[in-house]
Amino acid sequence: MTASTGKSPAGDDVARPQPVTAERITVALIPKAGEDLQRLLERTRLSKTDIANRAITLYEFIDTQLRSGRELLIRDPATGDTQAVLIL
């Protein structure tokens, strides 16, 4: 975040935070994704914006890991079973 300087009532220089601009997108969801989104909204009580932001950040993290040669694994703590997750 950048800041601009200005004068306080006492005449001192002060830093003022500049607003962060958000990128806006419009997304057409396939029916399955729309149903998944609805379930997430009900289960998490997060907003569509929060869910979309988290999904993009998570996908970027996973994509980076997979491109680095790592594997994505899910482990069931009750049984100890581990499964590889493939993202096509």
pLDDT in tens, the chain (88 residues): 455 555 656 666 678 777 788 899 999 999 999 999 999 999 999 999 999 999 999 999 999 999 999 999 999 999 999 999 998 8
Question: Full-prediction pTM beyond 0.85?
Answer: no
**Largest pairwise CA distance in the chain:** 67
Q: Yes or no: say if 37 and 62 are a contact pair by the CB < 8 Å rule.
A: no
